Amino acid sequence: MRKLPSGRWQASFVGPDLARHSAPHTFETKGDAEGWLGRRHAEVVAGEWQAPAPVVRVAPLTFDAYSAQWLRERDLKPRTREGYEHLLRRYLAPVLGSLTIDSVTPSVVRTWWSQLPSDLPTVRARSYALLKAIMNTAVADEVIDSNPCRIRGAANTPRAREIRPASLEELSVIVEAIPSRHRALVLLCAWCALRSGEVLEMRRKDVDVVAGTVRVVRAVSWVGGLAVVGTPKSAAGTRVVSMPPHIVPAVAHHLDTMTAAAPDALLFPGRDGVTHLQPSTLHRNWRLARETAGRPDLRVHDLRHTGATMAARAGATLAELQQRLGHSSVSAALRYQHAAQGRDKEIAAALSVMAGRESR
């Protein structure tokens, strides 16, 4: 018996034919391996053991073949699948694709990783994370004994820049500067902390101005230039979000003047009034508005950070932020918490007020 690096056990024996015969699979425990050997020994003693038929050798499995199978068997969002396909084609296959999967050793992985473009840290991290996930499955499938991806921290995606949420003054300037048909979109992304894909798929039936809520049940993404409608990013992304009362009139005005009457009508359609607004059109208008506000660094997605920060300052707990943002884990919601400028002084002042009350 032999314990493999994966923690599983391999068993083999020399039969009456003087050839070594291995178990057709590995075992989770040493006891299971011993049991298999015991049964084979009993067969030999009773004269019932027969040598197995010769194994038909098949061509070694290449990384290209296994990764293609891995991708086919995954239930992925279209945008995620497209991203994986790009990473495999551009960064993994050129070096690893023709190798047999069991010849992708730790040293091969280190050499491959060191040759990835150092000026693209996010690409390096995502490529490594994808390779590690594929190899984890190969271990579970018993195609390889252990995962060769052992570079500490290589899968951690670095934050390329520190995100500074928009201030209330900057947000006000952006809302005024952007075309009127997009003002409600900016308000919903910022004050409700919604993803742009969630807002661009929002329809009249999803908005209740009386209750002051919006319902997030779908999202749109673009794959190969085509709009693909699906569920939100995670199960927790399906949610009802309350609008701050001060933006409800603007959203109601948008529904009255810029949205078709049908329940399925898109809130923010393209020029034809039917199909989804193209991201290029939105971003062109967005760039002009953010320049007016003096924030050339601000992305549309950063409005979500703005909304999370404002909700935190309004007293939302981490669990409440998690629900409002539609995140399945607290750690994901934590990424959107920011210390707003001047907040530390406000906290210090509040502590003094508290101290004054306690001393009286």
- Catalytic amino acids? 195, 301, 304, 327, 336
Beta-carbon contacts of 75 under 8 Å, excluding residues fewer than 6 positions away, are none
Instruction: Give yes or no for a contact between 336 and 308, defined as CB atoms under 8 angstroms apart.
Output: yes
241: β partners: 214
Instruction: Give yes or no for a contact between 95 and 114, defined as CB atoms under 8 angstroms apart.
Output: no
- Enter the tokens of residue 187: 């308000």
Instruction: Give yes or no for a contact between 324 and 311, defined as CB atoms under 8 angstroms apart.
Output: yes
22: β partners: 12
Residue type, 235: A
Beta-carbon contacts of 338 under 8 Å, excluding residues fewer than 6 positions away, are 163, 164, 165, 305, 308, 309, 312
Query: Shortest CA distance to 196 belongs to which of 286, 271, 114?
Result: 286
- The whole-angstrom separation of Cα 76 and Cα 71 is 9
- What phi, psi does 305 have (nearest 5°)? -65, -40
Count the helix, strand and coil residues of the chain and give each as a percent rounded to the nearest 5: 50, 10, 40
The DSSP-derived string for 279-306 is: HHHHHHHHHHHHHHTT-TT--TTHHHHH
- Mapped onto helix, strand or coil, the DSSP state of residue 60 is coil
To which residue do tokens 């669990």 refer? 319
| 230-233 contact pairs (CB < 8 A, 24+) | 230/77, 230/78, 232/195, 232/198, 232/326, 233/77, 233/195, 233/326
